[in-house]
Amino acid sequence: MRRAHQWITFASATPLQAAAVVALGLDDEYYHALAADYQVKRDFLAGVLKEAGLRVSLPQGTYFIMADFSPLGFKGDDVAFCRWLISEAGVVTIPPSVFYSDEHKPLARNHLRFAFCKKMETLEKAAERLSRLRST
């Protein structure tokens, strides 16, 4: 593990190095536009999730939204709700408990992790599908 860690930490793949060079050459406007685009998508998805009955934690530095699904009355953990959401609404999300140690998994029990780094059309389709949650 130490050897792998040394090479993973201090060396990046050649394509990533080339991409970093390009990214460093972009002007500030690109990054301002990217941040604005993500904020629009974040705000859109946060509103959709609130309308669906979830409690939303609004992020300030990532493209993931954490949402508490306990107001919906679902009797199960985050993994079970993710599976239910896929089968019933056709929306895929991430069960955050997979990122927690066993002793801390209860902290994520009623939460989901939604990514908003998607095309707006994809988020709009998810919004349409999530709107059905209130009626179930």
Assessment of whether the complete model's pTM goes beyond 0.85: no
- pLDDT, one tens digit per residue, over 15-31 is 988 999 999 999 999 99
Q: Is 94:113 a contact under the CB 8 Å cutoff?
A: yes
> CA 32, 35, 41, 42: dihedral to nearest 10 degrees?
-140
CATH 3.90.700.10 fits 13-135, yes or no: no
Q: Which residues in the chain show pLDDT less than 70?
A: 3-11, 135-136
